[in-house]
Amino acid sequence: MALKVRLSYHQRLFILLLGVSWLLVVCFISFQYYREKQYKIEKLDGQLQLYNAHLIDALNSDSIDFIATIAKQRLPLSDLRVSVINTDGTLIFDNTLDTLPGENHLTRNEIKSAIESGHGRTIRRHSTSTDNTYFYSATKSDDVIVRSAVPYTVSLKEILNADRSFLWFMLCVTFAISIIGYYATRRIGRTITRLNTFAGMAERGERIYDVEPFPNDELGSISNHIVRLYAKLQQTVIERDKEHRKAMHEQQERTRIKKQLTNNINHELKTPVASMKVCLETVLCHRDMPPKKLWDFIERCYANCERLSNLLNDVAAITRMDDGAANIDKEPVSISEIISDIVETTKERLLNAGITMKVNMPENVVINGNRAFVDSIFRNLIDNAIAYSGGSVVTISLENDSDKSYTFSVADNGVGIPQEHIERIFERFYRIDKGRSRDIGGTGLGLAIVRNAVQLHGGRIYAVNQPSGGVKFVFTLSKQSM
């Protein structure tokens, strides 16, 4: 089976344009050729008709001596054959014949036309009398018909034919039109082919990176608009998919964190619950124990209850933060007032621990945020410094005031944090010294709460060990957070 070859759009368009152009040119040439030929025939016939008319006038004014009368007339063409015919079709004179034939001439086309309309012609007919071919032109008077004839030789044929130089000129013009049409259709065809290729790629959903600009015309402008629209749509789809993947990742991360939080809470709850259970079982089994021993067990139960309460409060806070900033109320919050309240409420603990609090904070530091969460940031960092630093000074400072945010720091001059742990201290339930942390009553969520609260207020936090000793927490809070 032969393969079916499909022509390109450019080839089909060029063939169509070429066909139409050549058809128009051929029609025009044919019409012009026919028109010019008819003009030459009419011109020759007009000359002969004029001669015939003059000859008729001469015959009407002279005698019937046809030979003398014709001889007096100037012939318009050489070798001109002149005949005089009666209206009944009898040939009465012919300057090329010695003996007149008796054949009736009414059957001749030029004679018929002359009788009907006064004049007639036959472009080409063979004469049996002279055995030559002539161009005949006949004119009728009242009594006779004068017919003049020109031998149809090669020279006459060339005279009657149209000028072939016009034909060659039109062929050159047609060839030029074809060349121009080829380049014009090639330009359009290339644009259509490129646009078709682009449409196929778009239908298959292929990524289009760099597309060469289309020509600077109406079709090229439309094509460029289509490409730009598809590129924007493609970019929108990519961004949508990216956001979808991000949302899915966040959802999976929240699920993982909640699962991890549940497992950690379950693990953290076991110790205080088990401790309270042991204390209560001992009291129930030894009802007659000394009062001092009984109060010791009761104090242990109370300490574990307090630890459970703190753990539940911290879990509630961090869960609320995980729900997102949209569910958190915001209002103008004075950082100076929060720090003053914290200093006041921790005064006794600072005194017992032998720690001095230094505050380097202006009075007009205000952000738009949630007061409870901002309070938890500073309170947890200060509590962390009092409980674990082992130092003697805690410093709260405003480090930088930019147009969009504040930068704060909480530092101590204690033992610092081992470098291998400093990147993980903000993880939930992560403890450097698990035994010491539980003895002090920490839940393992304090720094995780700090990190989440800072992020909800458009900031970030990090910790560094100071060269002089101790650890320094540096964090930012947006002035127009959430």
Sorting pLDDT into bands at 50, 70 and 90, what band is 442? low
Is the predicted pLDDT of residue 370 greater than 80, yes or no? yes
pTM for the whole structure: 0.44
Length of the chain: 482
Q: What was the pLDDT predicted at 139? A: 92
Q: What is the mean pLDDT of residues 359-377?
A: 85
Sign of CA dihedral 369, 374, 375, 378: negative
126 strand-pairing partners: 133
Give the range among 7-21, 94-108, 232-246, 363-377 with minimum mean pLDDT.
7-21
Taking CA atoms, 403 is separated from 369, 370, 457, 480, in Å, by: 16, 20, 15, 10
Of all residues in the chain, the percent with pLDDT exceeding 90 is 2
Least confident of 36-40, 239-243, 326-330, 446-450: 326-330
Average pLDDT value for the chain? 78
Out of 2-16, 52-66, 88-102, the most confident range is 88-102
Segment 1-26 shows an average pLDDT of: 72
pLDDT given for residue 343 in this prediction: 87
Give Cα 295 to chain centroid, integer Å. 80
Phi, psi of 126 (to 5 degrees): -85, 135
Give the pLDDT band of residue 157 (cuts 50, 70, 90): low
- pLDDT of 308 strictly over 50: yes
For 226-375, list the strands marked E by DSSP: 331-334, 356-360, 366-369
Answer whether residue 121 shows pLDDT above 70: yes
Q: Is 419 helix (H, G, I), strand (E, B) or coil?
A: coil
Averaged pLDDT, 290-313: 78
Per-residue pLDDT averaged across 67-90, rounded?
78
Q: How confident is the model at residue 287 (pLDDT cuts 50, 70, 90)?
A: confident
The count of other CB atoms within 10 Å of the CB of residue 249 is 10
Positive or negative torsion for Cα 87, 91, 93, 95 = positive
> Does residue 161 or residue 391 have the better pLDDT?
391
Q: How confident is the model at residue 441 (pLDDT cuts 50, 70, 90)?
A: very low
